[in-house]
Chain A
Amino acid sequence: MAAALLQAIPVTVNDSSDVALAAGGDRLAFERLYRTHVNRVFSLCTRMSGSRTVGEELTQDVFVRTWEKLPQFRGESAFSTWLHRLAVNVVLNAKKIEGRNAARTDEGDVEDERRPETVRAPMHIERMDLAEAISKLPPGARKIFVLHDVEGYRHEEIAEMCGITSGGSKAQLHRARLLLRGALER
């Protein structure tokens, strides 16, 4: 299983030397960074978008963008923090592009028969109920909820990233939690 292989590959604990190498064009170093951080990025992309398939595509986009922007990383924060922020931006921008062009149907519907869901990784036992409920949230509420309650960003940060006010972020978060509560009750 591919997932088993991923587990077997050794990953470096300290990123900084690999970051420096990768910024200079070393693709092997970049692959090591990828191996270290892919799951976290994938989790974020999948949860914010509500679909594993989409999450995989976004994950690739994130790493391609990271490769391009790596020379601009100045080490003012931890690499993982920077990478994570970049991932959030990629996901938010991807949704904008999709939203503008798709003839949307139901705002809350993330299932699209054009994109069959891939099989869930058998190795992880997720809290299926909550995770599934999250994936069914309306996109706006979902992304705020994931950013705040799952990923731990503060409202000020979310507001800045999403181009809303922190009051708006609080409001959407609350709405998301209420919707989840309603969904989990059934």
Chain B
Amino acid sequence: MKLIHVVAAAALVTALPFALTAQDRDRLQRDRHQIDTTVSIERQGSVDLSLVSGRIRVTGWDRKDVKVTASIDEGSLKFNANPSRVTLSVDHRDGSRRRHGSLGDARFDVFVPRGTRLILEAVSGDIIASGVQGEIEAGSVSGDVSVTGAVRDVSLESVSGSVHVSQVTGNLSAESVSGDVRAEGINGNVEASTVSGTVRLLGIQTRYVRTESVSGDIIYTGNIDPAGKYDFESHSGTLRLNLPRGAGAQFEVETFSGDVDSDFAITMQPGERKRNKGRFEFTIGDGRARVSAQTFSGRIIINDTSTDSPTRRD
């Protein structure tokens, strides 16, 4: 399409945002097993995809359109598009209003302009998003969630599946109940939590980390910014903090019955020993950042990555 035609078409679209043509109405009511269509979308529009089982895959591209290729074995697809929002979901309805039992696997393959905001949901389906460079909110119950390349606010969760995320410039919230949470290359605030899965935070550049687990282990390998605040909590899981060379922080380490292994000297301040036997405060470097590591019975391991520590393990 010639550029001038694209511009004219865009102008027409923006001039008539709300005239519902017969074609629009028709599009709104389509029930299908298969969709293969391309629609235009405004900058920073949003795409909202949800299915029960199967897989959602979204990829960012340089075009200004959203391309949707989707199919479902049983049940129908519901597709809706307007200039600011594209929605695709699944429905059991084939005339008869029955419950979800008759829904088959669905596969969504969607290309979106970079910067698009994504809302992705699945029950037992996996979710994969890459290169979208927009905000993402994604959740699955038993499927895995995997995101690469996002900005601003990213919020991911799964119940039994894993959550893997990398290359985010923005704030991340990642949660799983029993699955592992792995976040890499995040430049922004990080909140991660799990009950029994493992939390691995690698290559994090941030001033704020808050991560907690009940029985799962937590491993942090990232920067310690002088103005930062880093909170690590687990009930019985192991906290492993791998700190960079030259880090400066004031540490508050507390455990009820866990062991504390530190490459750094731990000194008890006079008068610091309160009711809780397992509480230590110490400072490394310039002591500007604040790090808090707390467990009930879990082990706390603080590694200085500039030495070869026998307990170090990523």
Binding site for B on A (CB under 8 A): 100-101, 103-107, 113, 171, 174-175, 178-179, 182
If A100-B121, A103-B121 are given as contacts, then 13 extra A-B residue pairs at C-beta distance below 8 Å, sorted by A number, are A100-B139, A103-B50, A103-B52, A103-B89, A103-B100, A104-B89, A105-B78, A105-B89, A105-B92, A106-B78, A106-B91, A107-B80, A107-B89
A114 to chain B, nearest CB (A): 9
User: Given the complex, which residues of A lie within 8 Å of B93, measured CB to CB?
Assistant: 105-106
Q: How far is the CA of A178 from the CA of B25 in the complex (A)?
A: 12
Are A105 and B90 closer than 8 Å at their CB atoms? Answer: yes
User: 8 Å CB contacts to A: which residues of B133-170?
Assistant: 137, 139
User: Is B99 part of the contact surface with A, judged by Cβ < 8 Å?
Assistant: yes
Q: Which A residues lie within 8 Å of B99 (CB)?
A: 113
A42 smallest CB distance to B (angstroms): 28
CB atoms of B123 and A103 under 8 A apart: yes
Chain A residues whose C-beta falls within 8 Å of the C-beta of B20 in the assembled complex:
178-179, 182
The residues of A that contact B97 with a CB separation of less than 8 Å are 113
Cβ of A182: which chain B residues have Cβ within 8 Å of it? 20, 25
Evaluate whether A171 and B91 lie within 8 angstroms (CB atoms) in the complex, with A100-B121, A103-B121, A103-B123 already known: no
Q: Are B18 and A171 neighbours in the complex by a CB distance under 8 Å?
A: yes
With beta carbons under 8 angstroms apart, the residue of A100, A107, A178 that contacts B18 is A178
- Note all chain A residues with C-beta closer than 8 A to B52: 103
Residues of B within 8 A of A (CB): 17-18, 20, 25, 50-52, 78, 80, 87, 89-93, 97, 99-100, 121, 123, 137, 139
Q: In the complex, A171→B18 CA distance in Å?
A: 8
Q: Tell me how far the C-beta of B74 lies from the nearest C-beta in chain A, rounded to whole angstroms.
A: 14
Residues of A with C-beta under 8 A to B87: 107
Question: What residues on A are CB-neighbors of B80 within 8 Å?
Answer: 107
> A174, B18: Cβ atoms under 8 Å?
yes
CB closest residue in chain A, given B97: A113
Provide a sorted-by-A list of 8 A–B residue pairs whose CB atoms are within 8 angstroms: A104-B50, A105-B91, A105-B92, A106-B78, A113-B97, A171-B18, A178-B20, A182-B25
Give 3 nearest A-B pairs by CB, closest first: A105-B91, A103-B52, A104-B89
Q: Bound state CA distance, A113 and B92, in angstroms?
A: 13
* B residues less than 8 Å from A103 (CB atoms): 50-52, 89-90, 100, 121, 123
Taken together as a complex, chains A and B put the C-alpha atoms of A174 and B89 apart, in Å, by: 25
Q: Which residue from B17, B89, B92, B100 sits with its C-beta under 8 Å from A171?
A: B17
- Chain B positions within 8 Å of A106 at CB level: 78, 89, 91, 93
With most chain B CB atoms within 10 A of its CB, the pick from A103, A106, A178 is A103
* CB of A177, distance to nearest CB on chain B (Å): 9
Determine how close the nearest CB of chain B comes to the CB of A13; give it in whole angstroms: 43
CA distance A178 to B99 in the complex (A): 32
Q: Which of A107, A113, A178 has the most CB of B within 10 A?
A: A107
Query: A156 to chain B: closest CB distance in Å?
Result: 20
Report the nearest B residue to A106, measured CB to CB: B78
CB distance from B105 to the nearest CB of A (A): 14
A105–B78 CA distance with the chains assembled, in angstroms: 7
Chain B residue nearest to A179 (CB atoms) is: B20
**Minimum distance in angstroms from A98 CB to a CB of chain B:** 12
Interchain CA distance A175-B83 in the complex, whole Å:
12
The docked-state distance in angstroms from the alpha carbon of A159 to that of B89 is 27
The docked-state distance in angstroms from the alpha carbon of A178 to that of B21 is 11
Q: Chain A's nearest CB lies how many Å from the CB of B243? A: 35
Please tell me if the beta carbons of A175 and B18 are within 8 angstroms of each other in the complex: yes
**Most chain B CB inside 10 Å of its own CB: which residue of A100, A106, A175:** A106
Q: CA–CA, A171 to B17, complex, Å?
A: 8
